Amino acid sequence: MRPDWKRLEQAARDAAARAHCPYSRYRVGAALLTADGAIVTGCNVENASYGATLCAERVALARAIAEGHRAFAALVVAAGNVAPATPCGICRQVLAEFCPPAMPVRCVPLVDAGAPPVAITLGALLPHAFNLRASPPPKD
């Protein structure tokens, strides 16, 4: 499934507009492309108990999984003004549970000013992801 980047970027920016971020005022939107061509979006959902905050990327992924998707082809994250933000460490690990290391990830600012996106792969964002199947515990 070849990503339609413009469409994914728009979906991620639209999702960021729906962020619930009264504490940080930092909007994040994520758009996941599934292997069968669907786009599933997420936004950050903050909480008064700060640690309960959900990142946009994990909201998109959990939503996609709950809708029955299991294979993913691309991710766009929209955040920040000039320099785009890349996914946090927890989100990288959670994405690695379902998405291949070769999956392309593009990070764009909230407003399109024509700057090139940060274009990277999940594997480059998180080399040596923790993988319980590759490194099972010893049998006793």
Q: Active-site positions?
A: 57
Q: Which residues contact 22 (CB under 8 A, 6 or more apart)?
A: 46
Q: By C-beta, is 55 or 74 nearer to ligand THU?
A: 55
Angle ∠(28,30,32) on CA atoms, nearest 5: 175
Whether the CB-CB separation of 83 and 43 falls below 8 Å is answered with: no
One of 3, 84, 87, 109 touching ligand THU (CB under 6 A): 87
Distances (CA, A) of 82 to 57, 78, 85, 90: 20, 11, 9, 24
In the complex, minimum distance from the CB of residue 81 to ligand THU, in angstroms, rounded to a whole number: 14
From 10-18, 33-41, 86-94, 114-122, give the range in contact with ligand THU by CB under 6 A: 86-94
One of 1, 83, 88, 111 touching ligand THU (CB under 6 A): 88
Strand order in the sheet with 39-43: 39-43, 28-34, 72-79, 104-108, 118-121
Helix (H) or strand (E) holding 59: helix 56-66
Contact pattern from residue 18 through residue 57 relative to ligand THU, giving x for each residue in contact according to CB under 6 A and a dash for the rest: ---x--x-x-x---------------x-x------x-xxx
91 part of the interface to ligand THU, by CB under 6 A: yes
Per CB under 6 A, residues contacting ligand THU are 21, 24, 26, 28, 44, 46, 53, 55-57, 87-88, 91
